[in-house]
Amino acid sequence: MAEESWYALKVRSRSEWLVESKLRSKGYELFLPTYKSRQRWSHQFKTLELPLFPGYLFCRLDVRVRLPILITPGVAHIVGIGRIPEPIRESEIVAIRTLVKSDAAYEPCPYVSLGQSVRVECGSLCGLTGLVTDLRGKSRLIISVEILMRSVSVEIDQAWIRPIKTVLPQRFLSPASGVMSA
> What is the spatial distance between Cα 115 and Cα 128, in angstroms, rounded to a whole number?
16
Which pLDDT score, from 0 to 100, does residue 111 have? 73
> What is the spatial distance between Cα 55 and Cα 75, in angstroms, rounded to a whole number?
10
Which pLDDT score, from 0 to 100, does residue 43 have? 86
Beta-ladder partners of 77: 10
pLDDT digits (tens, 9 = 90+) for 55-68: 999 999 999 999 99
Residue 106 has pLDDT above 50, yes or no: yes
φ, ψ (nearest 5 deg) of residue 99? -60, -45
Q: What is the pTM of this model?
A: 0.75
pLDDT bucket at 166, cuts 50 / 70 / 90: low
Radius of gyration over every alpha carbon of the chain, rounded to an integer in angstroms: 19
Q: Percent of the chain at pLDDT above 70?
A: 86
Residue 147 has pLDDT above 90, yes or no: yes
As annotated, the residues of the chain forming the CATH 3.30.70.940 domain(s) are: 5-85
Residue 103 has pLDDT above 60, yes or no: yes
Q: Which fold has domain 5-85?
A: Alpha-Beta Plaits (3.30.70)
Query: SS3 sequence, 33-68?
Result: CEEEEEEEECCEEEEEEEECCCCEEEEEECHHHCHH
> What is the spatial distance between Cα 131 and Cα 152, in angstroms, rounded to a whole number?
10
pLDDT digits (tens, 9 = 90+) for 48-99: 999 999 999 999 999 999 999 999 999 999 999 988 999 999 999 999 999 9
